[in-house]
């Protein structure tokens, strides 16, 4: 079990490094990353943080309601859902779609890393 945890961490470290480099070289948009440069984790593991709420770009933000969207991560179905507790809307804007896509990519990548290591 300890080995699996270590190997999973290595997969994360590799992905972080690859995305850091891609972003620094202009190949990757910061908001398309599936790893988080601030938390050094898979995006779906830290997208609940207030650091991922942006009033400027609209990420995890409901502009009409002026509040943060709630995010639900389903690790089994590998889906991410956004929800505004005030107006009840789900993912709708381009920023929402980008965040959902990045989180789902990080979910898939982390699960694939785990599965590959266990095999």
Q: Does 62 sit near Zn ion (CB under 5 A)?
A: yes
Q: In angstroms, what CA-CA distances link 19 with 41, 42, 105, 119?
A: 12, 11, 13, 26
Tell me if 11 contacts Zn ion by CB under 5 A: no
State how far the Cα of 20 lies from the Cα of 9, in Å rounded to an integer.
Answer: 16
- Does 79 participate in binding Zn ion (rule CB under 5 A)? no
CB of 4 or CB of 97, closer to Zn ion: 97
Identity of the residue, 2 or 38, whose beta carbon is nearer to Zn ion in the bound complex:
38
Residue 26 near residue 63 (C-beta atoms within 8 A): no
Tell me which of 12, 34, 36, 107 binds Zn ion, using CB under 5 A.
36
Nearer to Zn ion, 20 or 118 (CB): 20
Q: Does 97 interact with Zn ion (rule: CB under 5 A)? A: no
């Amino acid at each position: 079990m300890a080995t699996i945890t270590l190997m999973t961490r290595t997969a994360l470290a590799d992905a972080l490094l690859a995305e850091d480099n891609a972003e620094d070289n202009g190949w990757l948009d910061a908001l398309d990353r599936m790893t988080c440069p601030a938390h050094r984790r898979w995006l779906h593991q830290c997208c609940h943080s207030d650091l991922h709420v942006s009033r400027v770009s609209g990420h995890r933000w409901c502009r009409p309601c002026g509040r943060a969207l709630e995010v639900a991560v389903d690790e089994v179905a590998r889906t991410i859902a956004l929800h505004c507790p005030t107006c009840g809307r789900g993912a709708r804007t381009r920023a929402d779609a980008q965040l959902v896509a990045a989180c789902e990519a990080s979910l898939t990548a982390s699960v694939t890393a785990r599965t590959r290591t266990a095999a």
